[in-house]
Amino acid sequence: MSAGDEDGAAGKVAPLRKAVPCPECGRPSARDHYPFCSDRCRSLDLSRWLNGSYAIPVADDESKANGDDET
Protein backbone atom coordinates (compact mmCIF):
# COMPACT_ATOMS: atom_id res chain seq x y z
CA MET A 1 0.00 0.00 0.00
CA SER A 2 1.15 3.50 -0.70
CA ALA A 3 0.60 6.55 1.50
CA GLY A 4 -2.05 7.81 -0.94
CA ASP A 5 -4.13 4.65 -0.46
CA GLU A 6 -4.23 5.11 3.30
CA ASP A 7 -5.40 8.72 3.05
CA GLY A 8 -8.22 7.77 0.67
CA ALA A 9 -9.43 4.94 2.91
CA ALA A 10 -9.47 7.16 6.00
CA GLY A 11 -11.88 9.56 4.31
CA LYS A 12 -14.45 6.80 3.80
CA VAL A 13 -14.73 5.82 7.47
CA ALA A 14 -18.21 6.42 8.84
CA PRO A 15 -18.43 8.35 12.13
CA LEU A 16 -19.33 6.28 15.19
CA ARG A 17 -21.78 8.84 16.58
CA LYS A 18 -24.37 11.04 14.97
CA ALA A 19 -23.40 14.71 15.05
CA VAL A 20 -25.47 16.55 17.65
CA PRO A 21 -25.47 20.17 18.75
CA CYS A 22 -23.69 21.14 21.96
CA PRO A 23 -26.17 21.11 24.87
CA GLU A 24 -24.67 24.36 26.24
CA CYS A 25 -24.39 26.64 23.21
CA GLY A 26 -25.90 24.78 20.25
CA ARG A 27 -22.76 24.69 18.08
CA PRO A 28 -21.78 21.39 16.45
CA SER A 29 -20.16 18.97 18.90
CA ALA A 30 -16.45 18.15 18.70
CA ARG A 31 -15.06 14.65 18.81
CA ASP A 32 -12.63 15.44 21.63
CA HIS A 33 -15.33 16.94 23.87
CA TYR A 34 -18.43 14.95 22.83
CA PRO A 35 -21.29 15.82 23.29
CA PHE A 36 -19.95 19.33 23.87
CA CYS A 37 -18.20 21.61 21.37
CA SER A 38 -15.33 22.66 23.61
CA ASP A 39 -13.69 22.18 26.98
CA ARG A 40 -15.34 25.42 28.14
CA CYS A 41 -18.86 24.10 27.54
CA ARG A 42 -17.98 20.78 29.17
CA SER A 43 -16.63 22.60 32.24
CA LEU A 44 -19.74 24.77 32.49
CA ASP A 45 -21.95 21.68 32.52
CA LEU A 46 -19.78 19.99 35.16
CA SER A 47 -19.92 23.13 37.28
CA ARG A 48 -23.73 23.07 37.17
CA TRP A 49 -23.78 19.43 38.29
CA LEU A 50 -21.36 20.11 41.17
CA ASN A 51 -23.28 23.21 42.34
CA GLY A 52 -26.55 21.27 42.44
CA SER A 53 -28.26 23.23 39.66
CA TYR A 54 -29.36 19.95 38.11
CA ALA A 55 -31.62 18.14 40.55
CA ILE A 56 -34.38 15.57 40.34
CA PRO A 57 -37.49 16.81 42.14
CA VAL A 58 -38.76 14.52 44.88
CA ALA A 59 -41.96 14.45 46.89
CA ASP A 60 -41.70 15.32 50.59
CA ASP A 61 -43.70 12.26 51.60
CA GLU A 62 -43.34 9.25 49.30
CA SER A 63 -46.56 7.64 50.53
CA LYS A 64 -48.55 10.69 49.36
CA ALA A 65 -46.77 10.67 46.00
CA ASN A 66 -47.65 6.98 45.39
CA GLY A 67 -51.27 7.37 46.49
CA ASP A 68 -50.92 4.78 49.26
CA ASP A 69 -53.24 5.47 52.19
CA GLU A 70 -52.21 2.83 54.69
CA THR A 71 -53.38 3.72 58.19
Of the pLDDT bands very low, low, confident and very high (cuts 50, 70, 90), residue 21 is: very high
**Is residue 69's pLDDT more than 70?**
no
Q: How far is CA 69 from the centre of its chain?
A: 40
Exposure of 36 by Cβ count < 10 A (0-12 exposed, 13-18 middle, 19+ buried)? buried
Give me the pLDDT at residue 7, please.
Answer: 52
pTM to 2 decimal places: 0.55
pLDDT tens, 24-45?
999 999 888 889 999 999 999 9
Long-range contacts, stretch 26-34, CB < 8 angstroms, 24+ apart: none
Give me the pLDDT at residue 44, please.
Answer: 95
pLDDT tens, 6-18?
555 556 777 676 7
CATH class given for the domain over 17-51:
alpha beta
